[in-house]
Amino acid sequence: MLRSFSRGRVFLGLSIISLVSLFGCSPSADVAQVKTNNGQIQGHTEGRSIAFKGIPYAAAPINELRWRAPQPVSPWQGTLQADNFGHDCMQKPFEQDAAPLTTTPSEDCLYLNVWRPKKASDTPYPVVVWIHGGGFVNGGSSPNIYSGQYFGKNKTVFVSVNYRLGRFGFFAHPALSQSLPNEPLANYALMDQIAALKWVNENIAAFGGDPGQITIMGESAGGKSVNALLQSPAAEGLFERAVVMSGGGRALFPLRKLNESTDAMPSAEQIGLAFAERNGIEGSDSKALEALRALPADAIVDGLNLAAMQSPTYVGGPVLDGQIVTAATETNYQQSNFARVPVMIGTTNQDLGFPFARSKEALFAHFGENAENARQIYDPKGDLPLPKLAYEVSQDRMMQEPARFIAQQVAASGQPAWLYRFGYVAQAINKGQGAQHASEIPYFFSTVAEKYNPMTSEQDQQAGKMMHQYVVNFVKFGNPNGLGLPPWPAFDPVAPNRLTFTEEGIPQHGLDPLTPKLDLIQQALAN
């Protein structure tokens, strides 16, 4: 009657319908069952949605499956009780994380979650697939602010996905190349995301979702992932729309290659060899691979997280392998090697920036022949302190200009792009600092109360509802506009413009005041 799952999950051999027939009572309103390709799943009511949590979309990537492309899930008997999140992927949690995990990280982590509307519909619901951020070393699908219940409430199906992180997600070694010559290598995190999208395409109709209307959405490393999926041949045809939140897009640093190196950039395999040697593992044969796979999961993490991710034995993210990642994001956009789909893209108004110069002269030297023009625009009085100035230039280079650049490329391809800059800050914490990196997420999800309770104000709630509705409209129609919302025209390359979500929580559309700065950055990056 009962059997255990790999996570201690319980499967029920008798369905609810069978129990009803046995005991003569009607099923409760919070019961929902779905049959997937792998087996039966039972969800539960969460707000105005039905949630199905901890659904395996690939086999556990452990033992001989460590550093393998995701493998199929074995079918199960009985009914999977999908009432708890599966493990978030193995990592060292980051104490200051704005989206703290609610599970214990594990290497057995390839699970996804689905929220669907409680009300059935003859017309399938559009689908959005969420890819979390965290620098490719932290994060997961379990944080409360990532709840999909409000998407379900608004007649969409929401899916959130775990994917391998750190050295589990990006790793190469000659022993892997020799033992798996016909498999894609190194980019296991992106392979996981692609496997999850294939699962969604094959199974989401059972949840009432439309496999022909799938939007991928991600923030930070998740936004970088969306850029990669837009360009990967392996993801072709798996989605119809994309939302890129603070995902960069410019090749400010060289993309590491799988097995080719330069004096300045070791290959991913060389990095893997260094990691193996650090753990007392020599050579590149099957015994070396066996020893690597025998290392404890904590030894693979080796202290890596957002507070300490500059490790010489970590490749740092996506690797140029020629199959999953074919070129730098910037190059693929410039060469029109990306999916022709509508894109919603933007940043926060105080987004990430990592100062890269030790003097004003060095900072403005990056503008080349426009150095003096840049000085007059960024520091007209010459009195800005270097840290503040370097941050402003850096975040424009890392986030603001790349978002506009991608909007330009999408618009030039004949697809609509919707460019935004999010500047709202919750009233209880607003000290004039602007909207920091990742702070827009609870507004996109309408989980502001979950983030800021008991300090959430009515204005905060309204800001969340409005931004969330723009996102829902885009998921449904490929266009964020709708009744009750200020108009948001598509990006116009001739008159570059964007939607600003202001400090007052009022969306305003118009020309970008950063245009002179971003033009100079674009010219510098083009040279």
pLDDT of residue 497: 87
Residue type at position 186: A
CB 158 within 8 A of CB 79: no
Element (H, E) at 452: helix 448-452
Measured distance CA(329)–CA(317) in Å, rounded: 13
DSSP helix/strand/coil, 214: strand
pLDDT of residue 4: 30
Q: How far is CA 323 from CA 186, 286, 318, 516, in A?
A: 10, 24, 12, 38
pLDDT of residue 23: 31
Mention every residue, 6+ apart, whose C-beta is less than 8 A from residue 69.
183, 184, 188, 191, 195
CB 373 within 8 A of CB 333: no
Backbone angles phi, psi at 322, to 5 degrees: 85, -10
What is the radius of gyration, based on Cα positions, of the chain?
A: 23
Catalytic residue at 413? no
pLDDT of residue 252: 81
Please give the model's pTM, rounded to 2 decimal places. Answer: 0.94
pLDDT of residue 28: 37
What would the two tokens of residue 451 be? 């983030």
- β-sheet bridge partners, residue 418: 344
Measured distance CA(401)–CA(395) in Å, rounded: 9
- E-strand stretches of 189-342: 209-219, 241-245
Is the bond leading into 454 cis (omega within 30 degrees of zero)?
Answer: yes
pLDDT of residue 1: 27
Measured distance CA(317)–CA(325) in Å, rounded: 11
Catalytic residue selected from 220, 225, 232, 284 = 220
Residue type at position 208: G
323 CB neighbour count, 10 Å cutoff:
15
The backbone region for 478, taken as left when phi is positive above 0, alpha when psi lies in -120 to 50, beta otherwise, is: left
The rounded average pLDDT for each run of 10 residues, N- to C-terminus, in the chain (527 residues) is 34 37 34 91 94 98 98 96 98 89 97 95 96 97 97 97 98 97 97 98 97 98 98 98 97 90 92 98 97 98 92 95 97 97 98 92 96 97 96 97 98 98 95 94 96 92 96 98 96 90 90 96 91
Measured distance CA(149)–CA(441) in Å, rounded: 14
